[in-house]
Structure 1
């Protein structure tokens, strides 16, 4: 089992993975259609999108978290 102290990092990795899978598929389908070679185009798109999504998550989290904490109510 992985230590709880890595939970935020794991969350960012899994969320980046999931979002890049979905977004790559949708954007590839919209731009090129679901035809011959779709899986290859989709996979190539995802290979580019996942590291970008992970970098964005790692970079933006420290900026966005304080903003959300500031505007969210304290129930």
Structure 2
């Protein structure tokens, strides 16, 4: 198992993986439709998206967590 101190990095990795995978599929489909080059175009787009998404999530997730923490009422 992975040490708990790496939780944010592991979270960011999987969030980036799934979100970039799904979003790149949707955008590639919108732009191209299901054509012969769809699969190769989608994988290329996904690799680029994941490469960008992972460091962005590492930086942005703690900021979003703080904003949400301030917006949620304490009962």
**What TM-score do the two structures reach when normalised by structure 1?**
0.91
Structure 1 unmatched runs, 5+:
none
C-alpha deviation, 1:54, in angstroms: 0.8
> What's 1:49 paired with?
49
> What's 2:5 paired with?
5
Q: In structure 2, how many angstroms separate the alpha carbons of the residues matched to 1:71 and 1:27?
A: 32
For the residue of structure 1 that corresponds to 2:48, the secondary structure is helix
Q: In structure 1, how many angstroms separate the alpha carbons of the residues matched to 2:5 and 2:42?
A: 34
> What's 2:39 paired with?
39
For the residue of structure 2 that corresponds to 1:73, the secondary structure is coil
Contact 2:8–2:58 under 8 Å retained in 1? no
C-alpha deviation, 1:74, in angstroms: 2.1
Structure 2 unmatched runs, 5+:
none
Q: In structure 1, how many angstroms separate the alpha carbons of the residues matched to 2:8 and 2:64?
A: 14
Computed over aligned residues only, the root mean square deviation of the Cα atoms, in angstroms, reads: 1.0
Q: How many residues align?
A: 75
